[in-house]
C-alpha cells in the first residue's frame, strides 16, 4: 500500500509520472520534498530522468514564445520544396 501512496516502485525509485510532475513543479509540497530528498541522496538512476524532463520543460517554454521570422510564410504553399517532384503539376 505504501508503494501506491508514495509513487515509489519496488526498487525504491519514483515513477516517470512523479518525475514529470517534479520537473513541471506540479503536485503537493510533500511529494516534491520526497523527490528532492531522493535526488539529494545521490540516486544516479533517477537523476538522468529528472534532467531529461527538466530539459523538455525548458524547450516547451521556449517554443511558446517562438515567432517565425518576419516575411516567412506560416503555411508553406505550392512553392514548398516538399510540394512534389520537380516539374509536377501538383494535382
**Does position 39 have pLDDT exceeding 80, yes or no?**
yes
CA–CA dist 31, 29 (Å, integer): 5
Question: Is pLDDT at 22 greater than 50 in this prediction?
Answer: yes
pLDDT attached to residue 20: 95
Q: What's the pLDDT at 2?
A: 37
What is the value of pTM for the model shown?
A: 0.58
Domain ranges across the chain = 2-61
Residue whose C-alpha cell is 519514483: 14
Report the Cα 1 to chain-centroid distance in Å: 29
Q: Give 40-65 pLDDT, tens digit per residue.
A: 999 999 999 999 999 999 988 888 78
Amino acid at each position: 500500500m505504501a508503494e501506491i501512496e508514495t509513487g515509489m516502485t519496488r526498487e525504491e525509485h519514483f515513477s516517470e509520472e512523479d518525475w514529470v510532475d517534479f520537473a513541471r513543479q506540479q503536485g503537493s509540497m510533500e511529494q516534491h520534498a520526497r523527490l528532492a530528498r531522493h535526488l539529494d541522496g545521490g540516486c544516479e538512476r533517477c537523476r538522468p530522468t529528472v534532467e531529461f524532463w527538466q530539459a523538455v520543460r525548458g524547450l516547451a517554454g521556449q517554443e511558446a514564445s517562438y515567432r517565425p521570422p518576419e516575411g516567412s510564410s506560416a503555411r508553406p504553399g505550392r512553392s514548398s520544396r516538399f510540394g512534389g517532384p520537380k516539374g509536377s503539376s501538383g494535382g
